[in-house]
C-alpha cells in the first residue's frame, strides 16, 4: 500500500474523481432497480455506487482493498457495533416513546399495514445496505482523504452539508429536516473520528433507521407501516416533523446533544484509518 502523504491539490483531485464516480452511479444505478420501489432503489443504488466508486479509487490511487476504507474487522469492531446499535436505538426510542409518556403522541391501530415478520426482515436488509452505502459515501474514501490532508474537523462540516443536501429530494423534506440531517452528518462523522472505523457510525445509523419504522413513524419522509400501529402526534408538525417523520421535528433536535454526549463518552479503542495515517503521524511527531 502506498503512503497517503498527498499535496492538497492531489487530494482534491482524488476526492473529485470519487465524487464523480459515486454520484454518476447514483444517477444511473437506481433506475435499474426502480421497479422494486423508491426505497429499494435509493438504498441499493447508494450502496452499489458508493462501493464501486470506493473500490475503484482505492485500487487506482492507493493500491489497497475496500476494507481499508474503515471496514476491516478488528478486535474492537464487535464492541463498536454493539455500542453504536445501543446509541442509535436509544435515540430513536427517545423521540418516539418519551413523547407518548408526555402525552404529545399516542399509538393507534393501523390494520391496513398488519404486522408481518417477512416485511420487517426485508425492510431491515434493505436498510442495512442503505446505511452501509451512505456511510461509505459520506464517511468513507472522500471524507477520510480530506480529513487526512486538511484536518479532521475542517473536513467534517462541508461533508455534513453535502450529506444534508442529498436528502433534499426526500419526500416532504423541509428546511428544519435538512438542518437536522446536517447535524446527524456531524454526529456520524464525529463517531467515525472517535472510533477510526466505519463500524460505529454504521451501527448508530442502522439502529436509528430500523427503530423508527418499527416504532410506527416515517423515516426521512418514507412511510413503511411494519407493525400494524402508527404513532399519531397531538403536538404540532414543528415538534413531530409531520409527514417527514421525527428527523424533521424539534423532538429530534433536542435529542441530538444526548447522542453527541453518548458518542463522546463511549469507551472506544480508536483505530488508525489507513487514509488518515499521514495526519496521525504528523500529530505524533508534534
pLDDT digits (tens, 9 = 90+) for 61-79: 988 999 999 999 999 999 9
> Is residue 144 included in any domain, yes or no?
yes
> Is residue 56 included in any domain, yes or no?
no
Residue 239 has pLDDT above 80, yes or no: yes
Q: What is the pLDDT of residue 279?
A: 54
Residue 100 has pLDDT above 90, yes or no: yes
Per-residue pLDDT band at 5 (split at 50, 70, 90): low
pLDDT digits (tens, 9 = 90+) for 7-58: 889 889 999 999 999 988 877 766 766 677 777 888 888 999 999 999 999 9
pLDDT digits (tens, 9 = 90+) for 134-183: 999 999 999 999 998 898 989 999 999 999 999 998 899 999 999 999 99
- Cell 433534499, located at residue: 168
Q: What is the pLDDT of residue 283?
A: 39
Q: What is the pLDDT of residue 125?
A: 95
Q: What is the pLDDT of residue 282?
A: 45
* Mean pLDDT value of segment 223-242: 92
Domain range holding 240?
A: 75-285
* Mean pLDDT value of segment 120-142: 96
* Mean pLDDT value of segment 191-215: 97
Q: What is the pLDDT of residue 8?
A: 87
Per-residue pLDDT band at 2 (split at 50, 70, 90): very low
Give the distance, in angstroms, between the CA of residue 225 and the centroid of all CA atoms in the same chain: 22
Please tell me whether residue 220 adopts helix, strand or coil conformation.
Answer: coil
Per-residue pLDDT band at 110 (split at 50, 70, 90): confident
Please count the structural domains in the chain: 1
> Is residue 257 included in any domain, yes or no?
yes
> Is residue 7 included in any domain, yes or no?
no
Per-residue pLDDT band at 286 (split at 50, 70, 90): very low
Per-residue pLDDT band at 1 (split at 50, 70, 90): very low
Which H/E stretch holds residue 232?
Answer: strand 229-233
Q: What is the pLDDT of residue 4?
A: 44
Its pTM stands at: 0.92
DSSP letters, 100-157, are HHTTSEEEEE-TTS---HHHHHHHHHHHHHHHHHHHHHHHSHHHHHHHHHH-HHHHHH
> Is residue 35 included in any domain, yes or no?
no
State the Cα–Cα distance between residues 34 and 130, nearest whole angstrom.
15
Q: What is the pLDDT of residue 214?
A: 95
Q: What is the pLDDT of residue 285?
A: 42
Q: What is the pLDDT of residue 108?
A: 92
> Is residue 240 included in any domain, yes or no?
yes
> Is residue 270 included in any domain, yes or no?
yes
Q: What percent of the chain has pLDDT over 70?
A: 93
Q: What is the mean pLDDT of the chain?
A: 90
Cβ atoms < 10 Å from Cβ of 18: 24
> Is residue 45 included in any domain, yes or no?
no
Q: What is the pLDDT of residue 115?
A: 86
Nearest to 46 by CA among 69, 64, 23: 23
State the Cα–Cα distance between residues 146 and 82, nearest whole angstrom.
28
Amino acid at each position: 500500500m502506498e503512503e497517503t502523504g498527498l499535496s492538497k491539490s492531489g487530494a482534491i483531485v482524488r476526492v473529485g474523481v470519487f465524487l464523480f464516480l459515486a454520484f454518476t452511479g447514483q444517477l444511473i444505478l437506481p433506475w435499474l432497480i426502480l421497479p422494486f420501489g423508491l426505497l429499494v432503489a435509493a438504498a441499493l443504488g447508494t450502496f452499489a455506487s458508493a462501493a464501486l466508486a470506493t473500490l475503484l479509487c482505492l485500487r487506482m490511487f492507493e493500491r489497497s482493498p475496500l476494507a481499508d476504507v474503515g471496514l476491516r474487522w478488528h478486535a474492537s469492531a464487535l464492541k463498536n457495533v454493539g455500542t453504536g446499535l445501543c446509541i442509535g436505538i436509544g435515540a430513536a426510542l427517545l423521540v418516539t416513546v418519551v413523547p407518548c409518556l408526555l402525552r404529545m403522541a399516542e399509538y393507534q391501530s393501523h390494520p391496513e399495514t398488519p404486522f408481518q415478520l417477512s416485511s420487517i426482515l426485508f425492510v431491515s436488509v434493505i436498510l442495512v445496505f442503505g446505511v452501509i452505502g451512505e456511510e461509505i459515501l459520506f464517511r468513507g474514501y472522500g471524507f477520510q482523504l480530506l480529513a487526512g490532508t486538511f484536518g479532521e474537523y475542517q473536513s467534517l462540516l462541508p461533508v455534513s452539508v453535502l450529506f444534508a443536501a442529498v436528502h433534499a429530494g426526500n419526500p416532504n423534506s423541509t428546511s428544519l429536516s435538512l438542518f437536522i440531517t446536517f447535524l446527524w452528518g456531524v454526529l456520524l462523522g464525529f463517531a467515525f473520528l472517535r472510533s477510526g472505523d466505519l463500524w460505529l457510525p454504521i451501527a448508530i445509523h442502522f439502529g436509528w433507521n430500523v427503530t423508527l419504522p418499527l416504532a410506527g413513524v416515517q423515516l426521512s419522509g418514507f412511510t413503511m407501516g411494519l407493525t400494524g400501529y402508527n404513532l399519531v402526534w397531538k403536538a404540532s408538525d414543528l415538534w413531530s416533523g409531520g409527514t417527514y417523520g421525527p428527523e424533521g421535528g424539534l423532538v429530534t433536535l433536542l435529542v441530538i446533544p444526548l447522542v453527541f454526549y453518548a458518542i463522546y463518552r463511549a469507551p472506544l479503542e480508536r483505530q488508525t484509518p489507513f487514509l488518515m495515517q499521514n495526519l496521525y503521524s504528523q500529530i505524533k511527531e508534534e
